């Protein structure tokens, strides 16, 4: 290469870099378009509804309809099923289906499709597949009628059918199941625009021109995944993100000072210590209800809420959320902060000198302030708290598979459905891994499971009160989350879900 | 030169094989139940076992590695455990983002570092002190702070550039330029600070050489001496540092991609590594090794091209 060519190449490089360094950008956001840009901190592992999980529901709601629609206040309205009735024993749920619904390839949505989808969801190995554990069989009556036969009454069945278990995909796609993971095939209001989508980062959907129902207000939809709220907040401030949910108090404060933002508060997750070992297999002291009550009395919830969540939330002593029938406002403050009473209870139980409690710590959930605060509160009554630092992956393994700890500090969503709370936290399972029960729990659970309306509500209320008094859990507070839009979108929070349903977004008036 | 390139390529392939094996074994050691992670805390144990078996995780690590390798050499990098996407396609989709950043930073760094370094080295005095202070400040400022300030000022406050997101060059060249400008700027600060000091030092060293004094004594104009003789001889150390900076940029890209919400290799590495998604991590490790080998090769070739003495050495 000659010297002049070399000089030319260097000059070209210099010119390009100077252009790059000095350029000024033109328009930043695609404001004014009819695209809704949602930012999120969670994303689905797959778009196959057999593996759907409730926490990622909006991704699925775009391409799939559920059998039943769940309104923002938690009530159920028709969607693919226009009517539903239980038999007297509440073990047969008859559904009447819409007749005018077709999948993209022209396949009709019918009773056979419901049967194929529900059987596939129950066996699909997804995280929520257990929801259909009570489903015995799906009987096709005719193309527009189907009956779900249950092994035992399940008061959350309508909830499940309005959630992941009710998503209906085209059975023609089941033969090529791998394709459903990245190419959804449903009857929903939008269709995935694969060319513009980067799975794992940004999912772009365009309106389904053949949608059977009322079209949603936006022509297009994009859902972007971020692993930190800083980027989301910057996106909101520059109008690149239209709507998002902010969980951390600092980011909430930063966005609230911006007058252009529209914000709506919602309390959804509670943070607390879930005690698993109520039979005292690992920590004998926990077998005694007085010890569990002492732990509840030992912690200073108000100070924790003030320092850790900057007062964004409500202290609580119960795991039932405000949208459930079991909830009782008085139980939010059942345990006052009373170290002396806690010490007295520990003395009565024979632990006057205290005991050691070892808990796993995932820094994403238990930050330094929370770890120090809990340890100090427990130490004041003589209980030594030992934190076992773990990363998220190995913690899940050690806690849930090896059952190596007596409890764990968690953030838990609060469902709007009493049975979902009972099934998740009280019946033997992942969060009652040692299978704790007692006479009161045994008596009340069937009443919630099989009882009608007010009767089931009363039982749930009684169960909640019993759990609080027995110190089954050590909840700290419900955390206030903030729904934020850049001012162009009206967001309606969804009862029982942290993220709003896709139907809950509309242009601001 | 061809012989040199062939030798370096062969050692690169060997390095790739060794690192792929070590990475796979190390990634398989942690006591993480992938099936449990995929299905969540509430899933029952039988479903978790079934999931692990479907991913082949119930087999010995060596068997898993051999299987991965035999597919990888045929170009099949597998499917992501956590997003179900084809790994090759997923990585290819994100590569242009990080490549744009690195190319941009390299161009900016090369241009500014040589300008500042030569300016300081030749002029010395106040100019030199100014450039040195600039270098120290640029190097000392924490990367995340620089990035956050740049976003706040140029995106949020002034609205000159977007705060998040990436537009592909093929979609809109001007959109591409506007989305990568701030990330490139924030990554370039430390890079320019480091390389400009190297250029400055090298220029000063070369200017002290006897042959420069001779050239000056013969009355050659300073600009000609600098561009023809000083730059060529000073470029070798600067290029070496530039090569190292380029490799080091991968680390900086992680932070910048997260703050700007860019769907690049850096942010991908963090999120997929945290989840233990072995097929994706292996692809990223391989890509990084290939990148490092190629960059080092390129730097050596360039140094040889610019300075024939280096070829002899």
Per the CB < 8 Å rule, is B261 touching A235? yes
Cα B32 from Cα A399, distance rounded (Å): 12
For residue A414, pLDDT over 60 is answered with: yes
Q: Of the candidates B44, B80, B108, which has its C-beta nearest A17's C-beta?
A: B108
Mutation target vs B (from A397, A412, A423; most B CBs, 10 A cutoff): A397
Per the CB < 8 Å rule, is B33 touching A16? no
Coil, helix or strand at residue A508 = coil
pLDDT tens figures, B90-105:
899 889 999 999 999 9
For residue A83, pLDDT over 90 is answered with: yes
pLDDT grade, residue A7 (50/70/90)? very low
pLDDT grade, residue A280 (50/70/90)? very high
* CA-to-CA separations, A20 to A273, B104, B109, B298, in angstroms, rounded: 52, 7, 11, 23
Are B241 and B195 in contact by the 8 Å Cβ rule? The answer is yes
Nearest of B183, B160, B179, B159 to residue B168 by alpha carbon: B179
Cα A262 from Cα A488, distance rounded (Å): 8
Q: Of the candidates A20, A224, A231, which has its C-beta nearest B108's C-beta?
A: A20
For residue B36, pLDDT over 60 is answered with: yes
Per the CB < 8 Å rule, is A13 touching B36? no
Nearest CA in chain A to B306: A6
For residue A365, pLDDT over 90 is answered with: no
Are A136 and A61 in contact by the 8 Å Cβ rule? The answer is no
Nearest of B309, B308, B187 to residue B249 by alpha carbon: B187
Selection from A109-118, B220-229, B295-304 with the highest mean pLDDT: A109-118
Cα B256 from Cα B254, distance rounded (Å): 6
Are A337 and A302 in contact by the 8 Å Cβ rule? The answer is yes
Please state which of the ranges A144-148, A477-481, B142-146 shows the lowest mean pLDDT.
B142-146
Cβ atoms within 10 A of the Cβ of B2, count?
6
Would you state the pLDDT for residue B20? 93
Cα A203 from Cα A491, distance rounded (Å): 20
Coil, helix or strand at residue A156 = coil
Identify the residue with better confidence: B247 or A287. A287
pLDDT tens figures, B42-56:
677 787 888 888 888
Are A381 and A298 in contact by the 8 Å Cβ rule? The answer is yes
Q: What is the number of CB-based contacts under 8 A between chain A and chain B?
A: 176
For residue A219, pLDDT over 50 is answered with: yes
Determine which helix (DSSP H) or strand (DSSP E) holds A268, and give its type and residue range.
strand A262-275
pLDDT grade, residue A169 (50/70/90)? very high
DSSP string of B194-232? Answer: HHHHHHHHHHHHHHTSHHHHHHHHTT--HHHHIIIIIHH
Would you state the pLDDT for residue A394? 75
pLDDT tens figures, A102-158:
998 999 999 999 999 999 999 887 888 889 999 999 999 999 999 999 999 999 999
Rg over CA atoms, chain B = 24
Would you state the pLDDT for residue A11? 41
Per the CB < 8 Å rule, is A240 touching B165? yes
Would you state the pLDDT for residue B214? 87
Mutation target vs A (from B37, B47, B83, B239; most A CBs, 10 A cutoff): B83
What mean pLDDT, rounded, does chain A reach? 89
Task: Return the structure tokens found at A260.
Answer: 């252009």
Beta-bridge partners for B302 = none
Per the CB < 8 Å rule, is A14 touching B110? yes
Per the CB < 8 Å rule, is B111 touching A26? no
pLDDT grade, residue B310 (50/70/90)? low
Per the CB < 8 Å rule, is B37 touching A53? no
Contact list in B for residue A238 (CB cut-off 8 A) is: 155-156, 159, 162-164
For residue B281, pLDDT over 70 is answered with: yes
Are A484 and A307 in contact by the 8 Å Cβ rule? The answer is no
pLDDT grade, residue A25 (50/70/90)? very low
Cα A431 from Cα A473, distance rounded (Å): 11
What ipTM goes with this model?
0.79
CA B95 to chain centre: 11
For residue A318, pLDDT over 70 is answered with: yes
Q: Looking at CA atoms only, how far is residue A238 from chain B in angstroms?
A: 6
What is the mean pLDDT of the segment spanning B82-96? 88
> Of all residues in chain B, what percent carry a pLDDT higher than 70?
96
Q: Looking at CA atoms only, how far is residue B95 from chain A in angstroms?
A: 12
Determine which helix (DSSP H) or strand (DSSP E) holds A460, and give its type and residue range.
helix A453-469
Task: Return the structure tokens found at A31.
Answer: 């404001």
For residue A12, pLDDT over 80 is answered with: no
Would you state the pLDDT for residue B269? 87
DSSP string of A157-214? Answer: HHHHHTTGGGB-B-GGGGGGHHHHHHS--BSSSEEE-TTT-BTTTEEEEEE-TT-SSP
Are A383 and A297 in contact by the 8 Å Cβ rule? The answer is no
Which is it for the CA torsion B29, B30, B33, B35, positive or negative? negative
Mutation target vs B (from A131, A179, A234; most B CBs, 10 A cutoff): A234
Burial (CB < 10 A; 0-12, 13-18, 19+), residue A491, is: buried
Are B176 and B167 in contact by the 8 Å Cβ rule? The answer is yes
> Of all residues in chain A, what percent carry a pLDDT higher than 70?
93
pLDDT tens figures, B150-191:
999 999 999 999 999 898 898 899 999 999 999 999 999 988
Would you state the pLDDT for residue A359? 95
Would you state the pLDDT for residue B296? 85
What is the mean pLDDT of the segment spanning B129-133? 90
Q: Of the candidates B44, B104, B162, which has its C-beta nearest A240's C-beta?
A: B162
The conformational region for residue A487 under phi > 0 = left, psi -120 to 50 = alpha, else beta, is: left
Would you state the pLDDT for residue A261? 93
Cα B228 from Cα B205, distance rounded (Å): 16
Contact list in B for residue A227 (CB cut-off 8 A) is: 258, 267, 270-271
Would you state the pLDDT for residue B207? 86
Please state which of the ranges B8-12, B28-32, B268-272 shows the lowest mean pLDDT.
B28-32
* CA-to-CA separations, A223 to A30, A44, A353, B49, in angstroms, rounded: 15, 11, 54, 32
DSSP string of B152-169? Answer: IIIIIIS-SS-SS----T
Would you state the pLDDT for residue A45? 82
Q: Looking at CA atoms only, how far is residue B161 from chain A in angstroms?
A: 5
Per the CB < 8 Å rule, is A400 touching B36? yes
Per the CB < 8 Å rule, is B259 touching A231? yes
Nearest CA in chain A to B39: A127
Would you state the pLDDT for residue B31? 63
Q: Looking at CA atoms only, how far is residue B287 from chain A in angstroms?
A: 19
For residue A10, pLDDT over 80 is answered with: no
Determine which helix (DSSP H) or strand (DSSP E) holds A142, and give its type and residue range.
strand A135-142
DSSP string of B245-309? Answer: HHHHHHHHHHHHHHHTT--SHHHHHHHHHHHT-HHHHHHHHHHHHHHHHHHHHHHHHHHHHH-HH
What is the mean pLDDT of the segment spanning A471-498? 94
For residue A319, pLDDT over 90 is answered with: yes
Cα B273 from Cα B282, distance rounded (Å): 10
What is the mean pLDDT of the segment spanning A302-310? 93
* CA-to-CA separations, A144 to A63, A153, B246, in angstroms, rounded: 22, 24, 63
For residue B219, pLDDT over 90 is answered with: no
Entry pTM = 0.83
Mutation target vs A (from B162, B266, B274, B301; most A CBs, 10 A cutoff): B162
Cα A318 from Cα A460, distance rounded (Å): 12
Contact list in B for residue A396 (CB cut-off 8 A) is: 33, 36-37, 41
Cα B258 from Cα B271, distance rounded (Å): 10
Beta-bridge partners for A491 = A505
* CA-to-CA separations, A404 to A304, A359, B270, in angstroms, rounded: 27, 9, 28
pLDDT grade, residue B58 (50/70/90)? confident
Determine which helix (DSSP H) or strand (DSSP E) holds A15, and give its type and residue range.
helix A3-22
Per the CB < 8 Å rule, is A202 touching B263? yes
Would you state the pLDDT for residue A22? 35
């Amino acid at each position: 290469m000659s010297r002049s060519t070399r000089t030319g190449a260097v000059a070209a490089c210099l010119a390009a870099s100077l252009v790059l360094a000095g350029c000024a950008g033109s328009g930043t956001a695609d404001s004014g378009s009819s695209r809704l840009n949602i930012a999120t901190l969670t994303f689905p592992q797959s778009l196959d509804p057999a593996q759907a999980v409730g926490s990622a529901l909006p991704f699925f709601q775009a391409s799939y309809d559920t059998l039943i629609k769940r309104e923002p206040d938690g009530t159920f309205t028709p969607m693919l099923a226009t009517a539903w009735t239980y038999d007297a024993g509440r073990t047969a749920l008859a559904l009447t289906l819409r007749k005018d619904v077709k999948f993209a390839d022209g396949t009709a949505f019918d009773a056979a499709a419901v049967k194929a989808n529900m059987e596939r969801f129950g066996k699909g190995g997804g995280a929520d597949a257990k929801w259909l554990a009570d489903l015995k069989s799906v009987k096709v009556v005719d193309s527009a009628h189907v009956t779900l036969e249950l092994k035992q009454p399940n008061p959350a069945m309508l909830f499940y059918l309005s959630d992941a278990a009710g998503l209906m995909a085209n059975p023609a796609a089941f033969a090529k199941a791998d394709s459903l993971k990245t190419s959804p095939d449903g009857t929903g209001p939008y269709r995935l625009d694969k060319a513009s989508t980067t799975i794992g980062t940004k999912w772009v959907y365009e309106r389904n021109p053949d949608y059977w129902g009322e079209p949603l207000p936006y022509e297009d939809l994009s859902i972007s995944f971020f692993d930190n709220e800083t980027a989301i907040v910057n996106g909101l401030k520059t109008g690149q993100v239209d709507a998002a949910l902010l969980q951390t108090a600092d980011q909430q404060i930063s966005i609230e000072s911006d007058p252009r933002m529209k914000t709506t508060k919602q309390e959804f997750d509670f943070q607390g210590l879930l005690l698993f070992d109520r039979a005292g297999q690992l920590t004998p002291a926990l077998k005694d209800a007085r010890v569990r009550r002492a732990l509840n009395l030992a912690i200073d919830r108000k100070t924790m809420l003030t320092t850790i969540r900057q007062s964004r939330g409500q202290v609580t002593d119960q795991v039932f959320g405000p949208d459930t029938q079991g909830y009782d406002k008085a139980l939010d403050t059942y345990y006052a902060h009373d170290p002396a009473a806690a010490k007295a209870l520990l003395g009565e139980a024979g632990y006057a000198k205290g005991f050691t409690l070892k808990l796993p710590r995932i820094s994403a959930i238990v930050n330094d302030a929370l770890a120090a605060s809990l340890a100090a509160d427990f130490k004041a009554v003589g209980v030594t708290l030992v934190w076992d630092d773990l990363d998220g992956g190995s913690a899940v393994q050690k806690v849930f598979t090896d059952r190596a700890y007596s409890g764990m500090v968690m953030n838990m969503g609060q469902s709007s459905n009493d049975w979902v709370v009972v099934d998740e936290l009280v019946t033997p399972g992942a969060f009652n891994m040692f299978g704790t029960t007692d006479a009161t729990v045994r008596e009340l659970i069937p009443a919630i499971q099989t009882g009608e309306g007010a009767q089931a509500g009363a039982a749930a209320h009684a169960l909640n009160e019993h759990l609080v008094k027995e110190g089954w859990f050590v909840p700290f507070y419900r955390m206030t989350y903030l729904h934020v839009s850049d001012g162009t979108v009206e967001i309606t929070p969804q009862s029982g879900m942290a993220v709003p349903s896709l139907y809950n977004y509309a242009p601001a008036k | 030169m061809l012989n040199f390139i062939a030798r370096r390529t062969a050692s690169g392939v060997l390095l790739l094989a060794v690192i792929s094996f070590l990475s796979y074994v190390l990634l398989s050691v942690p006591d993480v139940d992938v099936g449990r992670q995929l299905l969540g805390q509430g899933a029952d144990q039988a479903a978790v076992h079934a999931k692990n078996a479907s991913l082949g995780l119930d087999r010995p690590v060596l068997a898993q590695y051999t299987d991965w390798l035999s597919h990888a050499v045929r170009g099949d990098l597998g499917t992501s455990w956590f997003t179900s996407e084809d790994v090759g396609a997923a990585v290819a989709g994100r590569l242009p983002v990080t490549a744009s950043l690195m190319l941009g930073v390299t161009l900016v760094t090369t241009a500014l570092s040589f300008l500042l370094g030569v300016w300081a080295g030749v002029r010395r005095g106040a100019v030199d002190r100014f450039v040195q202070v600039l270098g120290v400040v640029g190097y000392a400022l924490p990367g995340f702070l620089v990035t956050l300030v740049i976003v706040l000022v140029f995106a949020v406050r002034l609205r000159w550039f977007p705060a998040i997101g990436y537009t592909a060059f093929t979609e809109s060249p001007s959109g591409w330029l506007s989305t990568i400008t701030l990330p490139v700027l924030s990554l370039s600060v430390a890079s320019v600070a480091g390389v400009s000091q190297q250029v400055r030092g090298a220029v000063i060293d070369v200017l002290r050489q006897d042959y420069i004094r001779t050239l000056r004594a013969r009355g050659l104009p300073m600009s000609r001496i600098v561009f023809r003789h000083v730059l060529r001889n000073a470029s070798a150390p600067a290029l070496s540092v530039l090569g190292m900076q380029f490799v080091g940029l991968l680390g900086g890209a992680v932070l910048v991609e997260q703050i700007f919400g860019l769907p690049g290799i850096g942010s991908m590495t963090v999120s997929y590594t945290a989840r233990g998604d072995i097929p994706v991590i292996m692809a990223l490790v391989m890509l990084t090794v290939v990148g490092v080998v190629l960059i080092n090769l390129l730097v050596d070739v360039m140094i040889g091209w610019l300075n024939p003495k280096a070829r002899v050495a």
